[in-house]
Chains A and B, each alone.
Chain A
């Protein structure tokens, strides 16, 4: 079997597992899920209706099969707050979230590559120590707190960016989403800088770099063609492992910057006790991470042919 086919096959148990976890969320709700979710709005009729809708009076396996049957037909349940189906609600909110994720990943790389280069090319110099101090401060920084400070500094004091929102048009998004993307990128940068610096140091010490140097390869070319390309692979892996963190960070950041994505929808739905929407968003987030991880693994294999022969 080819690497791609094997990787795709590995997706099956994970995908099933993800649906089981999302399905099971309802049974973690203490007491009668329907009564708890409805809270003060609970009437015997509405409770009975939800019981029927979610199949709560059936055996567990049958409930799951009902859930899966709806899922494969694209049914994510009915929103309790809006009344309509949850799927268009969630899918309509997806573009801003995807924008934010990609924008943040690009900014994270744009921040990390120069800093890691600065550090790795002069190991143990002052600039190396300065760059290595960045992750120490960055790791413990609550992203939403950083977002609030950035809004205050760059949107309220200096009116360079809008306080909130998504903007319109490509350039509008680029402008309006800069601060939120920067916030997520700064939260992500520490891990990427660390990994990139370590792998650059590894590459710089490799024999083929010495060979290239002795052949008289110019410094820029040496760096771009020999060092960076090889050093980027572990960094892609680290980015891939932390993609869950990146995607999860958007939940919080979207709420700070009032971006109408699925993260904001999730928190709003939590306050509205709109369980089906929370469940649907959780599932979409899980699918998103699985897909991005797949993409990271495949691009990893494309960057480094050795991966394909590994196992």
Chain B
């Protein structure tokens, strides 16, 4: 909203520590290493879904509806006889792919816009920050749901909605970091050397501040997955019959008392994905500013 809600002093403190050498290797950072391994396993399982299961995620089998867990169907089957474990893997595949793609555009746009605002300041900064204020004035879910409604349900709308809403956070983070970093001596040196502004931003400032945006991206992906799953739950996101964790949770809800696994496991899968990305984010943050945890 306003400048007072941004933790400026913390940014300043980090900027000083940026200069320190960082001898620690990423794999020695327990949170980062365990998060990366966990995510690698999930992503590998999602990619290798066709190899891990012999069932088709969308093919109905009305002779095998609502079966309990067994050796044939690890998590049982749903109301139209589709293997739940298979749909879980394919659902992860769909939702992870959308989330990882969806995070790219806001990341790039927000970084560019934020560095322009932070570096040039003045009226450019004021205009951009007022734009940020306006987007932030809407609750995240409300804006995403409203945008997907007007654009029409489906993946394309999800990408557009997440981009329109998501760039603000990156812009705020990068702007805050650049405001501090641009007063450092190396930037003054680059400027007095007559380097053009975009070269200073791209080659000197961004490499020093981009990590903060990357750390934020980890929690942003989690948030995007939650939004995708929520949209799927309301039938606004990935359209059936494509497997999606949100619509799986919705389908299973009607059978909660008798077949709790139908709803529980898709949600649990989202929690585990969130856990792995949070661990990576925390580990990265710790790697950059050790001891601050």
Residues of B within 8 A of A307 (CB): 4
* CB contacts between A and B, total, < 8 Å: 174
The CA-CA distance from A300 to B7 in the complex, in Å, is: 13
The CA-CA distance from A68 to B143 in the complex, in Å, is: 20
Interface residues of B (CB under 8 A from A): 1-5, 7, 130-131, 133-143, 145-147, 149-152, 219, 222, 225-226, 229-230, 233-234, 236, 246, 249, 253, 256-257, 260, 263-264, 266-267, 270-275, 277-279, 282, 293
In the assembled complex, 27 residue pairs joining A and B whose CB atoms fall closer than 8 Å, in A order, are A14-B133, A17-B133, A17-B134, A18-B134, A20-B134, A28-B150, A29-B151, A137-B275, A139-B219, A142-B226, A148-B249, A149-B267, A151-B256, A234-B7, A241-B5, A244-B136, A244-B140, A251-B141, A251-B145, A267-B234, A270-B234, A282-B143, A286-B142, A293-B5, A297-B5, A300-B4, A300-B5
**Which single member of A7, A13, A140, A275 contacts B222 (CB below 8 Å)?**
A140
Least CB distance from B92 to A in Å reads 13
Overall SS of chain A's interface: helix
Contact A14–B134 (Cβ < 8 Å): yes
**Which single member of B139, B226, B264 contacts A149 (CB below 8 Å)?**
B264
**CB within 8 Å of B: which of A15-63?**
17-18, 20-21, 25-26, 28-30
Chain A: number of interface residues, binned into ranges = 35 or more
The CA-CA distance from A240 to B142 in the complex, in Å, is: 17
Contact B275–A136 (Cβ < 8 Å): yes
Best-surrounded residue of A148, A156, A234, A293 (most CB of chain B within 10 A): A148
Contact B138–A136 (Cβ < 8 Å): no
Residues of B within 8 A of A245 (CB): 139-141
Closest to B126 in A: A13
Least CB distance from A118 to B in Å reads 16
Contact B278–A136 (Cβ < 8 Å): yes
Closest to B272 in A: A140
Contact B149–A278 (Cβ < 8 Å): yes
**Which single member of B141, B226, B246 contacts A140 (CB below 8 Å)?**
B226
